[in-house]
């Protein structure tokens, strides 16, 4: 692509969107856009949220209208899920999908018990979303999320239930005014907005941080074949030290390594992203598989994420296969560095290395 600005579609002399955009999220080749627009690219049902993959697409509909009936303020991608926050009510005619909804595999669903609660008002909305592990954090202008008295302006969803994040007094949440921004870093949730004196702290004005309830510890381990002991158990570093295996094989042979992505957290489920790096070498062939599914492109791009979370002490496994070609010279090596990153806390990383050496 040439350097410079480029449009995403067109509508005659104007762009494809006829209203402002508040949020963008990307998953693979899909760009999701949310805001205050209707009929994106003249598609009647592409209202407030739409998907671009080289062309525009609606995301569900109620008759000739989109599935969401009001402005979208926040988008968050996690694996196959897209979380959408805004001021809408009854997304896709789902009674519990107020202010917050989830899009997956072409369909909408609520995020737990009705987020807006029984007293949700027309002026309430979600402005910000963030994720740590399986926990979704929502911030905005709302009170009593899911009818929890202290779940005001910010709340946490653990995959099943909603929770408050502290309080200043019974019935009142720790944040007293609108939240506009959320970010997760190093085991903490950073919260920004119009509030003052968060949790009664006189110095916590407009910006505060909340210590996450769990710690995330990815443990990458490697072995040759699919049985036997793993190398690298309970060893954590981002350079692969003491977590490397080298195998010699003649030309034409395949080497199979199994990578264990173990969750060493004591308390929290976690998912993992996997990336393989290293110099390309035409004398070797590299493949990555999850079961029988080829995941090589995603692993090389750093986009692969385990499809289901691992509970504490359990793992998810992938296979790395390397073929030594007959053209490889004797002693020639091919190295791949496998980087395993916690989805719950992307600052937590472990690394293993696999090395194939030609025995031609």
C-alpha span between 338 and 67 (Å, rounded): 41
C-alpha span between 341 and 260 (Å, rounded): 13
Q: Which residues pair with 260 in a beta bridge?
A: 221, 317
**356: which residues sit within 8 A by CB, 6+ positions away?**
246, 247, 249, 255, 284, 322, 324, 333, 334, 335
**Are the C-beta atoms of residues 101 and 84 closer than 8 Å to each other?**
yes
Q: Which residues pair with 157 in a beta bridge?
A: 136, 162
What pLDDT does 214 receive?
64
Beta-sheet pairing, 244-249 with 349-358: parallel
C-alpha span between 313 and 219 (Å, rounded): 10
- Is the pLDDT at 183 greater than 60? The verdict is yes
**Are the C-beta atoms of residues 94 and 116 closer than 8 Å to each other?**
no
Mean pLDDT within 241-246: 94
Q: Which residues pair with 336 in a beta bridge?
A: 354
- The fraction of the chain above a pLDDT of 70, given in percent, is 96
Name the phi and psi angles at 3, rounded to 5. Answer: -70, 140
Tell me the DSSP string of 197-242. Answer: SGGG-TT--SEEEEE-S----EEEEEEETTSSPPBSTT---SS-TT
Mean pLDDT within 53-80: 92
- Is the pLDDT at 12 greater than 60? The verdict is no
Q: Which two tokens stand for residue 109?
A: 């669903």
C-alpha span between 259 and 304 (Å, rounded): 14
**Are the C-beta atoms of residues 83 and 102 closer than 8 Å to each other?**
yes
Most confident of 39-48, 178-187, 210-219, 251-260: 251-260
Q: Residue 153 has what DSSP assignment? A: S
C-alpha span between 210 and 184 (Å, rounded): 9
What pLDDT does 294 receive?
97
Determine the 3-state secondary structure of 249 from DSSP. strand
What pLDDT does 116 receive?
81
Q: Which two tokens stand for residue 323?
A: 């073929």
- Is the pLDDT at 112 greater than 60? The verdict is yes
Mean pLDDT within 36-64: 93
pLDDT digits (tens, 9 = 90+) for 115-166: 887 655 566 999 999 988 678 999 999 999 999 999 999 999 988 889 999 9
b/e per residue, 215-254, with b = 16+ CB within 10 A? bbbbbbbbbeeeeeebbbeebbeeebeebbbebbbebebe
Q: Which CATH architecture has domain 218-358?
A: Sandwich (2.60)
Look-up of token digits 């209208």: 65
Determine the 3-state secondary structure of 91 from DSSP. helix
C-alpha span between 360 and 281 (Å, rounded): 16
**pTM across the whole model:** 0.65
Q: Domains of the chain: which residue ranges?
A: 21-211, 218-358
Q: Residue 296 has what DSSP assignment? A: H
Task: Quote the radius of gyration of the chain (alpha carbons, Å).
Answer: 24
H or E element, residue 140 = strand 135-141
Mean pLDDT, the chain, as a whole number?
91
């Amino acid at each position: 692509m040439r350097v410079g600005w480029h449009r995403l579609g067109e509508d005659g002399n104007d762009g494809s969107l006829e209203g402002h955009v508040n949020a963008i999220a990307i998953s693979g080749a899909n760009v999701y856009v949310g805001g205050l627009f209707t009929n994106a690219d003249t598609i009647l049902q592409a209202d407030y949220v739409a998907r671009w993959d080289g062309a525009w697409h609606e995301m569900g509909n109620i008759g000739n209208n989109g599935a969401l009936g009001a402005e979208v303020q926040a988008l968050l991608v996690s694996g196959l899920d897209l979380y959408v926050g805004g001021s809408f009510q009854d997304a896709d005619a789902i009674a519990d999908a107020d202010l917050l909804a989830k899009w997956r595999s072409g369909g909408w669903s609520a995020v737990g018990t009705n987020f807006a609660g029984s007293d949700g008002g027309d002026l309430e909305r979600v402005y910000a979303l963030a994720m740590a592990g399986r926990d979704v954090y929502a911030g905005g202008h709302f009170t009593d999320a899911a009818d929890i008295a202290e779940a005001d302006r910010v709340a946490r969803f653990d995959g099943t239930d909603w929770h408050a994040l502290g309080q200043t007094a019974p019935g009142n949440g720790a944040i007293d005014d609108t939240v506009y921004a959320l970010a997760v870093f190093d085991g903490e949730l950073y919260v920004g907005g119009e509030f003052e004196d968060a949790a009664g702290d006189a110095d916590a004005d407009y910006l505060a941080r909340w210590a996450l309830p769990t710690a995330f510890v990815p443990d990458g381990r490697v072995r040759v074949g699919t049985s036997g002991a793993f190398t690298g158990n309970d060893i954590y570093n981002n350079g692969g030290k003491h977590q490397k295996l080298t195998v010699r094989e003649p030309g034409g042979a395949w080497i199979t390594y199994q990578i264990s992505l173990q969750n060493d957290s004591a308390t929290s489920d976690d998912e993992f992203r996997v990336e393989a790096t290293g110099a390309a070498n035409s004398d070797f062939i590299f493949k990555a598989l999850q079961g029988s599914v080829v995941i090589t492109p995603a692993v090389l791009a750093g986009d692969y994420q385990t499809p289901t979370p691992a509970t504490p002490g359990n793992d998810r496994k992938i296979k790395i296969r390397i073929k030594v070609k007959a053209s490889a010279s004797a002693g020639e090596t091919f190295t791949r560095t496998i980087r395993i990153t916690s989805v719950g806390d992307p600052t937590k990383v472990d690394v293993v290395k696999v090395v194939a050496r030609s025995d031609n």
